[in-house]
Structure 1
Amino acid sequence: MSFFSGKVVIVTGSSNGIGRGTAVIFAKEGAKLTITGRNAQSLEETKQLCLKAGAKQSDILELIGEITDASFNERLISATVEKFGRLDVLVNNAGGASMTNFGKGIFDIPVDEFDQMMELNVKQVLRLSQLSVPHLEKTNGAIVNVSSIAAFHQQSKMPYYSAAKSALDQITVQMAASLIKKGIRVNSVNPGPVATNVVVAAGGTKDDQDKMFAGMGSSMPLGRVGLPDDIGKIILFLADRSQSEILIGHIVTADGGVTLKSAMFPDA
């Protein structure tokens, strides 16, 4: 029997990309799922993939809402516990960037965008995690945050996004140190390039997105860009106490070797 059989998992931002791939993997492992996003049609597609993976209709809760809305954060946790009676894993996957000022210097970008990036990538994670603690404490549960290798870059074409992800990494560490005392493990995965609709979601065009991914794989040490399943498997591992109990406050770089490269050794 799978470790996740009968356990309850929330995956935010699960209407596409990494969130969708992660939800399907948990469904295969027998978990009960709350999936959430802003697009009802896309979320329904995720649900159907979870059902195909082996989940029952009664084991899936769909919630449409804006992840930066504090009242929706409250509903997400309360509705999950009301339906399933418990919570074992919170996957804070939802987040995003903005293409509006892509490539501009940090002082050429309105500070309002910084506020937007912090709301989308950090503050909602804090709210959801805080709301989940009383329930995760009862189950010796886990929180897995999804950050980005953008947090590591010394120079970025999206400086406020990188700053927000750096903040999220530090939040992961601080949460981990605090919550392990309650039996809750917190870790993070920081993906590199992953083939999703991330550019379109950030306000770019499909053409922009295709250009970004075209040829990117050949320049990566691994020889290909990541796939949602690649990241989903790491999230599953980090949430599985039977496999990764000793990992606490760990930030897993999942980038196909991108961060091995540097200006000094560009052909690494």
Structure 2
Amino acid sequence: MALNTKDFPIDDYLAVKNSRNFTGKVVLVTGSSSGIGEGIVKLFSILGAKVVVTGRKDAEIHKVAQEVQQLSPDKLKPLEVTADLTKREDVERLINETIKTFGQLDVLVNNAGIYPTSDIHDKNITDEFDQVFNIDLRAVVQTTHTAVPYLEKTNGTIIDMSSCAALSPISNLIISIQPKSVSYVNYCMAKAALNMLTEVLALELGPKGVRVNAVSPAVTEVEGMPKTLIDLMTKTAPLRRVGEPLDIAKAVVFLASTDAQYITGENLVVDGGQHFVVPGSV
């Protein structure tokens, strides 16, 4: 007995060959002057996108911007914006300059963040709470709020940079190898809240054509990451290495691509299996 099947256009299948071509797309990555954000903005540039490099230090932004331009197939000049995302006027200037320069916004990657390590006994714990939530959460809300009208025009996408630390508390194994007694209580809380923001906005913005997802790395080798931590995870993780910025960038590019056009509200864990060995590893 023949099955009744829908005849899907073969062109949709053929289009997958070009799913990583971001020519004509505009990508804004916060915190892109170093670390994981730098890796993300470089990969998008290699794939043809017009990109915005932003951070809080002019020299670091300019250095990355020069490298990004050289990586661009058409040597496209990125937009450089120095901004403090805890200040509303800076966020508005960042989005306004993006639109003024490129005329549109297709991808917003909320990557900027900090992870101080005070524990609950610290007399400054609430000051740190305010600082972490201002940068890791409130700034994401403000940036997204400001960018959404432009993303709705392009059926754009939002990718929030979360962490495995949002899924379970950071293991005592990791804490034990730190040079002093530490805790990631504020960081874990902020990233857990970011995951909920991602899910809520996926529901809210989906009908308007905007997809919202998160990426959760674990230990990733960036400047300032303790060598003892890298060595520990290299020995114990299933893939016997820690992540690199490119590993995370590939995941972000996938979620921004047409290959992920039916994915929203998800949290993609990119940790090489670290969470199986050290739950809550960051």
TM-score range, shorter chain: 0.7 to 0.9
2:68 to 50, 54, 65: 50
Please say if 1:118 is aligned against 2:133. yes
What does the per-residue CA deviation read over 1:130-185, in whole Å, with 9 as the maximum and x for residues that have no partner? 11111011100000000111111235621111000000011110111101111000
Count of aligned positions: 249
Q: In structure 2, the residue corresponding to 1:214 is in which secondary structure?
A: helix
Aligned to 2:162: 147
Unaligned 5+ runs, structure 2: 1-17, 172-182
Equivalence map 1:209-228=2 (5 Å): 209-228=226-245
Unaligned 5+ runs, structure 1: 200-208, 264-268
Aligned to 2:266: 250
Q: In structure 1, the residue corresponding to 2:195 is in which secondary structure?
A: helix
* AA partner of residue 275 (structure 2): T
Cα offset, 1:262, TM superposition: 5.8
Q: Is the CA contact (8 Å cut-off) linking 1:4 and 1:31 kept in structure 2?
A: yes
State the percentage of identical aligned residues. 38
Task: Tell which structure's C-alpha radius of gyration is larger.
Answer: 2
Larger deviation: 254-263 or 228-237? Answer: 254-263
Larger deviation: 133-142 or 110-119? Answer: 110-119
Equivalence map 1:16-27=2 (5 Å): 16-27=34-45
Q: Which runs of 4+ in 1 moved over 4 A?
A: 55-58
Equivalence map 1:71-150=2 (5 Å): 71-99=89-117, 101=118, 104=119, 106-108=120-122, 110-150=125-165
Q: Is the CA contact (8 Å cut-off) linking 1:188 and 1:250 kept in structure 2?
A: yes
Q: Is the CA contact (8 Å cut-off) linking 1:31 and 1:55 kept in structure 2?
A: no
Q: In structure 1, the residue corresponding to 2:214 is in which secondary structure?
A: strand
Q: Is the CA contact (8 Å cut-off) linking 1:117 and 1:161 kept in structure 2?
A: yes
Give the distance between the partners of 1:68 and 1:210, measured in 2 at CA: 30
* AA partner of residue 37 (structure 2): G
Cα offset, 1:107, TM superposition: 4.5
Give the distance between the partners of 1:165 and 1:83, measured in 2 at CA: 32
Q: State the superposition RMSD in angstroms.
A: 1.7
1:234 to 248, 251, 262: 251
What does the per-residue CA deviation read over 1:13-42, in whole Å, with 9 as the maximum and x for residues that have no partner? 001111010001000111001110112222
* AA partner of residue 92 (structure 1): N
Cα offset, 1:111, TM superposition: 1.4
Could you tell me the TM-score, scaled by structure 2's length?
0.83
Give the distance between the partners of 2:251 and 2:278, measured in 1 at CA: 25
| Structure 1 residues 17 and 215: CA distance shift in structure 2, 3 A | same
Q: Is the CA contact (8 Å cut-off) linking 1:32 and 1:55 kept in structure 2?
A: no
| Structure 1 residues 55 and 45: CA distance shift in structure 2, 3 A | farther
Could you tell me the TM-score, scaled by structure 1's length?
0.88
Q: Is the CA contact (8 Å cut-off) linking 2:30 and 2:112 kept in structure 1?
A: yes
